Amino acid sequence: MKQNSAKIGHFLAIVNVYKEMNQLGDLHSFIEEPKYGKKGEGAEPDIYCSFRKTPFFIEVQRTIYGEKQMNDKLARYADLFNSGILPDSPHVLILSDQRYAIDGEYPFKIFQAESFTLFIQSLKMVTFPEPIKINSGGLKRVVR
């Protein structure tokens, strides 16, 4: 890599994701830029990892992709998923300041966040309703 390469910022962003994941704990694997297929034809995530026993493909987007570029990228992930090559089906996490309009149905979940920490925090904010017991006296809220 050249000393003034534009890829330096991208690789530093990948390192920052690694550091965040280590701080949040339970990182089982972390592979930077694995290739699945021929260059430009197959899925090429920035990161494949297993975090809290959940597999993820992570895209670290420092530049803004157009709609067609993002749809092509997700189509390559769908092709990989449908090929049966992978024993598990990773979720796709897009880390970017830009929010993408994701259209279409995919055989995996797609998440978007500005950072891995904010992604984890958004999962913690999901609340479930308190359980309700039904007895002869009517409905009753269960206190935990």
What pLDDT digit, counting tens, does each position of 4-30 carry?
787 888 899 999 999 999 999 889 999
Does a structural domain hold residue 1?
no
**Whole domain around residue 98: which residue ranges?**
7-141
Query: In whole angstroms, what is the distance from residue 52 CA to residue 29 CA?
Result: 10
Query: In whole angstroms, what is the distance from residue 84 CA to residue 7 CA?
Result: 31
Q: Which ranges in the chain belong to alpha helices (H)? A: 7-24, 67-83, 116-124
Percent pLDDT > 70 in the chain is 85
Provide the whole-model pTM.
0.81
Query: For the chain, what is the domain count?
Result: 1
At 25, which CATH number?
A: 3.40.1350
Does a structural domain hold residue 13?
yes
pLDDT of residue 20: 95
* Segments of the chain scoring below 70 in pLDDT: 1, 125-144
